[in-house]
Structure 1
Amino acid sequence: MASTRPVPWVSPLLCLAVLAGGAYYALVDAGPSFRLTAFAALLLLLIGIDAVERHIPAAVLLLTRTGLYVAVNTLDDSGIARALFVLVPFTAYFTFGRRTAIVLGTACVAALPVLFTLRVPGWQTRAEHVSDVVMFALGIVLAITMAAVAVREREARVRLEGIMHEVEALSAAQERNRLAREIHDSLGHHLTAIAVQLEKADAFADLDPSGAREAVGNARWSADRALTEVRQSVRTLGQRPFRLTDALTDLIDHLDGLTISLDVTGEEEGRPLTSLTALYRAAQEALTNACRHSGATNVRLSLAYQDTGATLTIADNGQGFPLHKAPAGIGLRGMRDRIALLDGSLDLASGPTGTTISIRVPW
């Protein structure tokens, strides 16, 4: 089947131009005639073929068009109709490729001098005929060039659409990963904190009612905080300016079972929100792991704001673990991924006396 041309308007537009020019010449020269009627009918037939070209086999379509171009030229006394032959290599380019188009274009250019030799003796010395050959050759070259540009533009558009689909898929995957990290780092931490606080409240309900009530209050705070963060992540609600130091202080105040200290140096004002959020999520994950796995009783957080970036160090006195058996869960991996997206670094050290995580993010 014939391929769909990127510029389908070229052929019918040229046919209409030839019809207008040839008809004007015929009317001025000899008036209405059967030749003029046949000339116009063949051109209109060519335009009709353009409308149904996709339903005609490519080779048949090319031969049919070429035969009609020859027929139109035999009925045309003005010489305007020979411009139709530029459509032979032009349309062939889209179906048969560049080489075939060049061969057909060369044949068309060569045919005109042969025709002049047979019908116009001494045409080589007549400027108008030599000019006709040169202009016809130039038209063929421009037609092939235009076809090449159209094909490349179509191929580029197809490639661009493919790239856009890939970008869309990658963006969707990246967004899924982001949401997974947010859910794990935020909900995972708060659910762990709630579980710890409720266990404490249950254990001390009779022995220390005030401590149990405090634990329930902290669990309620963690639940409220988790709900707020879910709304902010999923619905992207407006929120008050985020301050990492205040968020860490608030987080520490509502964690029981650990003695946590926070040491801050430098100025936080004006720092990128993405970097500050990444540090906060890392601190959440580290404290969750300390509560859940390490058996630590003391955790020390050191946060340093510098001109080029920030450094966060979380050190606990838990039992640690061999580095070659580092936990493979989503928590540590998500922490590394989040920091890597900011071109930051994460160093992990662990042993019998505790675990230390050092995180560096640039601004």
Structure 2
Amino acid sequence: MAWLRDPDRPPLLSVVFWLVLGATVAVNLMLPSGVVNRLLFFADVVLLCGLWLVMPWRPGRGRLLATPVFLAGSFALGLVGAAGTHAPLTLLGMANLALVYGMRTAGATLAAFGAILVIVPPLFFGRTFVQALVDLAAIAVLSAFSMGMASAVLRARRLAERVRELTVAEERARIAAEMHDSIGHHLTVIKLGLENAERFRERRPEAAWEEVHQAKDLTQAALADARRWVRALRPLALDGDLGSAALQKLADSFSGTGVTVTFEVEGMERPLAPDTELVLYRVLQEGLTNAVRHAEATSVRGTLTFDRRRIVLVVADNGKGFGQGHGSGFGLSSLSDRVAALGGRLISGDQAVGFELRAELPS
């Protein structure tokens, strides 16, 4: 039921929706109305409440029919006794339509809605053509605001995605350079060792076999490094995974290492800034990689906690710990700097059992 607390739903729009809907109900109760109209009115209100909770706020999230049904329901609310107070609900539906279907679809729908507003009330509800035009002018002004807000959100989303792509590309380039230094070194030594073995194979066969055995050991080390870097090169969200989903996928990728890895989320999850997501990803990756390579751990547990003012990621293993010198080769210095750059702090150290890495970042 995570979609009931969709992090893509703008909180301010939720506040506006519930306030407007409450005011519409209050006005309807104060005005005289027939039994049938009142029953239809409250049935429509219940429908809109349910649709608001399931409407998607990003393309590709499913439940796409909820948006046009919400628009139709908000328009119908005016026909069964909303006394004009329902207009902002229709505009919220238009904003949602723009965010999910795009600005062109929203613009075409808005034009059709305007035509209906001019034609239907004079023909069936006793309003004059001039009154219909006045209503249309008011809706047009509010619609311009609504569509402008949706356009700004869409532009901000595109910019955020671009920033994510650039950040991940920069991180991939950095890791690729480290991968070149690591695996490239192993392959260079292996090549030299095999060339020596080829020269020694007749005159010094024992030395030749020693070079072969050394090359075999280095090949295993290079293979282990290659597997580790393949996991490290996975970007945050190639398959649309964001936030805890990306971290869960990273934790699952270590399932074949012989270490039991668990990951859980505590608190109400909310959207994370791209820089925050990347740092959390690297903290979990660092904790898992070092638990597998150095700590001789049999289990690792990652916990992502959402507090009111901060986000905390803890990676704890049951390994042998690292003693006083764990910071030198543990790669924590640069990671600590990155956490500090976001206004957070990175705490690491041996525990009663194993080692713990804790990142605290502002929300």
TM-score range, shorter chain: 0.3 to 0.5
- Larger Rg, first or second structure (1 or 2): 1
TM-score (norm 2): 0.41
